[in-house]
Amino acid sequence: MSDRIEAQNVVDKLTRPRSTVIMHSHIYMPGLGHYVISLKKKREDAYFVIKDQKGSRPRIRIRVPICNRAEFLHILGYVTMLADDCENRSYPDNTGTDLDLYFYSTMDDGNGRSYEFEAFVEKYVRYLRITYIHKGIYDTLLFNARYLKEIIRIIQNFDIYHPNRMVAEDYCDICHRWASL
């Protein structure tokens, strides 16, 4: 590569606008981790990020464009409902409570990002594992199901505090325009 092209690449990286955090909130799950949920903006693209603050890798995160938030929240709500239903059941013995997968779903945003949702029970505790797949990189976050209502509430608060951002970004062609950057 010529020096001129390398120099232009450096300039492009320096002048390319970084994402701007509009709003963020913290969730601490004892024994599982500390998560930050942020609403971010990069040019016309708005998205929210769920990031693991105590992860062993530096950037374990899930990025969801605003135009996909309804489907994302629907799946989280469904898992919450299933977890509440499982919570009300009584188990006479240990059968059927260790590593039982009780829900699996996938979500594809049509722009190279996909999400896998796995809800399971381990030692009477309900969990949700979300795997975010983008450009061959797999990031996985594990949540205790009883904290899902808090995550849903935080994402819905983004709608309350920034309704113009959420409504304006419902046009998915705008959301996906800069997604490849």
| Domain assignment of residue 24, yes or no | yes
> What is the pLDDT, as a whole number, of residue 170?
46
Residue type at 111? N
> What is the pLDDT, as a whole number, of residue 46?
82
Residues 62 and 151: their CA atoms lie apart, in Å, by 13
Angle at the Cα of 169 (from 63 to 74), degrees rounded to 5?
Answer: 60
Tens-level pLDDT at each residue, the chain (181 residues): 566 667 666 665 666 667 777 887 888 877 777 888 888 888 777 888 898 887 656 678 898 888 888 899 999 998 888 888 776 665 555 555 555 778 889 999 878 889 999 998 887 788 899 999 988 889 999 888 888 888 899 988 888 877 665 554 444 544 443 333 3
| Domain assignment of residue 64, yes or no | yes
| Domain assignment of residue 135, yes or no | yes
| Domain assignment of residue 124, yes or no | yes
| Domain assignment of residue 31, yes or no | yes
> What is the pLDDT, as a whole number, of residue 165?
59
> What is the pLDDT, as a whole number, of residue 111?
81
| Domain assignment of residue 2, yes or no | no
| Domain assignment of residue 85, yes or no | yes
> What is the pLDDT, as a whole number, of residue 40?
85
| Domain assignment of residue 176, yes or no | no
> What is the pLDDT, as a whole number, of residue 175?
43
Structure tokens at 28: 């601490």
Looking at the structure of the chain, the number of domains it has is 1
- Full strand arrangement of the beta sheet holding 61-65: 20-29, 33-42, 45-52, 61-65
The CATH number covering residue 154 comes to 3.30.2450.30
Q: Which domain holds residue 94?
A: 17-160
The secondary structure of the chain as a DSSP string is: --HHHHHHHHHHHHHSPPPEEEEEEEEEETTTEEEEEEEEEETTEEEEEEEESS-SSTT-EEEEEGGGHHHHHHHHHHHHHHHHHHHHS--SSSTT-SSEEEEEEEEE-SSSEEEEEEEEEETTEEEEEEEEEETTEEEEEEEEGGGHHHHHHHHHHHHHH-HHHHHHTT-HHHHHHTTT-
